[in-house]
Amino acid sequence: MHASPFRLPLPPRASLAGRFAFVFAVFALCLLTGLAQAQQKVVLQLKHTHQFQFAGYYAALEKGYYREAGLDVQLVEGHGGLEPEKAVLSGKAQYGVGDSGLLLSRLSGKPLVVLAVVFQHSPYALAMRQEGPGNDIRRIAGKRVMIGSLQDAQPQIDELMAYLKKEGVNTSDIVRLEHSFDPNDLIVGRTDAMAVFVTNEPDYLDRAGFPYEVFSPRSAGIDFYGDNLFTSEQEMNANPERVKAFRAASMRGWQYAMSHQEEIADLILNKYSRRHDRLHLLYEARQMVPLVQPVLVEIGYMNPERWQHIADIYAEQGMLPKGASFDGFLYNMESGANLVWLYRVLGAAATLLVLGAGVHFTLLARERSRTDEAIRKGEQRFRTMFEAAPMGIALIDSVSGQFRDVNPRFLEIAGRTPMEMKASRWMDISHPDDVAPEQEKMAQLNAQQLTGFKLTKRMLRPDGGVVWVDASINAIETESHPHHLCMIEDVTEKKETEALIWQQANFDTLTQLPNRRMFLDRLQHDILKSRRDGTRIAILFIDLDHFKEVNDTLGHHQGDVLLIDAARRISACVRQSDTVARLGGDEFTVIVPELHDVERVDSIAQNIIDSLLAPFPLGQEQAFVSASIGITLYPDDAASVDDLLKHADQAMYAAKGAGRNRFSYFTPALQVAALNRMRLTNDLRGALKGNQFKLYFQPIVHLATGRIHKAEALIRWEHPQRGLVSPLEFIPLAEASGLVVAIGEWVFHESARWVQHWRREVHPDFQVSINQSPLEFQREGASYANWLRTLQQLGLPGQSLVVEITEGLLLDASSTVTDKLLQLRDAGIQVALDDFGTGYSSLSYLKKFDIDYLKIDRSFTRNLAPESSDMALSDAIIVMAHKLDLMVIAEGVETAEQRDLLAAAGCDYGQGYLFARPLPAADFDTLLKSQA
């Protein structure tokens, strides 16, 4: 007889208990088959876009935990705010992820139920730019802050606002900006502070090398839960089994995700989002470990006392009434809705118990065995996670400070063996400077004033090394006296990087002296102290004389060696409490605070000058420099930092102008002179457009014939208010402001116009000499192409002009200077060497460059007399020049005797008041015509 395909045959000679077990198995198989065929569709609304923050839900999907529970789950991205609450209450989603603000919503009448806590500690914190050691959250007052949305009061701002209030910051004193969630806004200064997730934004700030400080509400005892899985009462009542199954599958996913971080990071990148790279996802995972605490607490665990703590904080803020009840807010897996099914099963079991007593005891024994095995495996799993955790974890006796249990990572960070650790106490391995503040926090923890705290501290290793750690310390309940759990992460590299960034931002990399930023900070601090104490401050501006020559002749490397030695010498001349800084280049400054005797400043300045006069050994060479020092006093000379610096700079330039190698105090006269220079420079900018420049000409006379075929063009400035301004006064200002180039072009065009006239009216070979500033001549990229085009347009040869340059240009004849001289030679424009004999020229320079005229300086001509040394030098210059085929022009000829002596010595030309003073162009034209 064959069995029907629709019926399962019973085993032969089966006992009553065996038949019962067989029927029960068939029933269970059918039930499971039905569930597998009818997957229930549900939606989980996330808070934000996909990232590791929701890793457990991705794991539950990927590993099939939802499918095994008969669920077809869809994960929907969110954009913050109250979006998950709205989705769950409207029925668009059955489940959501929210923070501790869910408690506010529940007590405002929204039927929400928290199923599980995922983040045992909230990730919310405030990030601010780091401004040196000893940062304080209270400096946020008056600053621009991105904290929550201005349009939608997000729950996240509640704990941060409570934190600020508890720290004594009036939230009305901060300037709230719309939150962009972009760390770059903090980096570039669009905001001064920003609400962040400690699992997220710090990674991007670290990558940018931005120095920042994170302030957590937990430091003030405000310890909120982070992400929570929640649902609605409607879902609870309608589908209690689905709620239970969804919660269990989600928590399995979270347990897997936190144990397989790299796998889930790859899953997110492959299936969900590439907004963040793999390194960031793993960073997020590591930072979540102390927040989720998967090793220490069963994921999903909720403590009603912690929720009461959160309610108390809200009550302190006036957001909830004191003693508000939140019954029904926390999910209870043993709730009545679930017990209905349980009672039915128990009733059926009781009915079947009589029939299957034997089977029952057998199954009970097996269940007990499975339970023991599950407990063993659970303990093994948690121990494995404890041992393999990426951060150091230790259980510490709160009274004695002894280590009760330590994982390998903690031993690695502490640099100790298990035996050494057991013989140590927590405070023994702490840096002495960090013990006191930590003991204060531990006292509050043991007094149950805090449930936990975080701090950054230094740990001492047996080899004398110091390691920086971020430590998270939490009290835990034990059967004996108090213990606390300590989790540490090695942040030595981060601290060293922060220290390096701070050092580079505040100290000069070459001399290791404070830079301009640190100098200004210390000066401001000293001024505040001076106001309290009624003392004076001296500021010394030091500029090294002739340093450029050292750089140009021996190279920048040797120049750097000199600067380092100069910094050492200056520092040796002042007290340790004084500040020596390098502002840049060869400029140094000294702040002398708490000054009771002003005469002591003279001694300091002179010691610095004397110290810098000693030769600087630079390899095989020696260099000699001196110093010009400007001194200003606070509060005598000025009350503000800017004015003090400006006055010290003016005094330093006064010392340079007085001959260098000296110091000069600021005086009101210097300020007047500086203002005059500034105003004159401003007037100079409009002089060209205002046609205020005039060209004067002084004749250059041929001594043998007395004829005038040459002239030197000299510029004059007829100021509308000041009258005639000397070139000695305005040419240095034109060079400093860069206006000398435009002025030089004007002089050339005016000279070319007049030489064209005099070649036509006076003599066909008439020449005009034009003075060129070294700045014009050395200017990179400039050429004489425009000059040549102008001369061609006017029908003038190059020989109609002579360019007068100084000897200093030939001393440092760069390729630019050499190229300019070659351009002049090729164009036929002659070159005169002005003020010859007063500089550094030698026969080698005269042989190397194409020079046409030497102009003997007036200092030789002034004292010419037969048998005098000046006469002998003039004779020598004239003979030497003629041997080199150069012609000679003597400047400053004022007497007939000087003229006759020069003519007798063979000098070609003379120029001076004997023949004529510089004349306006029209008057000079009349002089030439009278000569004709």
pLDDT digits (tens, 9 = 90+) for 105-137: 898 889 999 999 999 888 999 999 887 665 688
Cα separation of 874 and 851, whole Å? 18
DSSP string, 730-783: HHHHHHHHTTHHHHHHHHHHHHHHHHHHHHHHT-TT-EEEEE--HHHHT-TT--
183's CB contacts (< 8 A; 6+ apart) are 194, 196, 201, 204, 205, 208, 210
- Give the residue among 761, 801, 784, 813 at the shortest CA–CA distance from 922: 761
Cβ–Cβ < 8 Å for 752, 801: yes
pLDDT mean over 462-477: 87
* Measured CA distances, 179 to 78, 186, 329, 476 (Å): 16, 11, 30, 37
- What pLDDT is recorded for position 853? 93
How do beta strands 483-490 and 392-397 pair? antiparallel
pLDDT mean over 790-794: 91
Cβ–Cβ < 8 Å for 77, 50: yes
Question: What are the percentages of helix, strand and coil residues in the chain, rounded to 5?
Answer: 50, 20, 30
Helix/strand/coil for 859: helix
Cα separation of 291 and 223, whole Å? 11
**Cα 629 to chain center, whole Å?**
33
Cβ–Cβ < 8 Å for 138, 167: yes
Residue 489: Cβ within 10 Å count: 20
Give the percent of the chain with pLDDT over 90: 37
- What pLDDT is recorded for position 480? 58
pLDDT band for position 671 (50/70/90)?
Answer: low
Q: Which two tokens stand for residue 402?
A: 């002894």
Cα separation of 273 and 567, whole Å? 55
Cβ–Cβ < 8 Å for 250, 56: yes
Please count the residues of the chain.
932
pLDDT (tens digit, 9 = 90+) per residue, 287-342? 998 888 776 678 888 888 888 888 888 888 778 888 788 888 999 865 544 444 44
Helix/strand/coil for 920: strand
Q: Which two tokens stand for residue 509?
A: 């990399």
Q: Cis ω on the peptide bond leading into residue 668 (within 30° of 0)?
A: no
569's CB contacts (< 8 A; 6+ apart) are 608, 611, 612, 614
- What pLDDT is recorded for position 257? 92
598-612, 837-851, 857-871, 918-932, range with the lowest pLDDT: 837-851
The dihedral through the CA atoms of 713, 719, 723, 725 has a sign that is: negative
Cβ–Cβ < 8 Å for 392, 407: yes
Cα separation of 292 and 117, whole Å? 9
**Cα 185 to chain center, whole Å?**
13
Q: Which element (helix H / strand E) includes 394? A: strand 392-397
Cα angle: 877, vertex 880, 881; to 5 degrees: 85
Q: Which two tokens stand for residue 247?
A: 């919660």
Cα separation of 296 and 298, whole Å? 7
Sequence letter at residue 784: Y
Place of tokens 């009305």: 172
Alpha helices in 510-657, H assignment, sequence order: 516-533, 547-554, 556-572, 599-613, 641-657
pLDDT (tens digit, 9 = 90+) per residue, 212-229? 888 888 888 888 988 999
Q: Of 645 and 32, which is predicted with more confidence?
A: 645
pLDDT mean over 687-694: 88
pLDDT band for position 373 (50/70/90)?
Answer: low
Query: Taking 90 as the threshold, does the pLDDT of residue 591 lie above it?
Result: yes
pTM of the model: 0.43
Q: Output DSSP code: residue 885.
A: T
Cβ–Cβ < 8 Å for 394, 410: yes
pLDDT band for position 88 (50/70/90)?
Answer: very high
Sequence letter at residue 906: G
DSSP string, 683-702: HHHTTTTTT-EEEEEEEEEE
Strand order from edge to edge, sheet including 144-146: 175-177, 144-146, 193-197, 124-129, 212-215
Cβ–Cβ < 8 Å for 184, 155: no
Query: Taking 90 as the threshold, does the pLDDT of residue 698 lie above it?
Result: yes
Residue 177: Cβ within 10 Å count: 17
pLDDT mean over 642-671: 85
pLDDT band for position 363 (50/70/90)?
Answer: low
287-301, 353-367, 390-404, range with the lowest pLDDT: 353-367
Helix/strand/coil for 126: strand
- What pLDDT is recorded for position 842? 54
pLDDT band for position 780 (50/70/90)?
Answer: low
Query: Taking 60 as the threshold, does the pLDDT of residue 852 lie above it?
Result: yes
- What pLDDT is recorded for position 24? 39
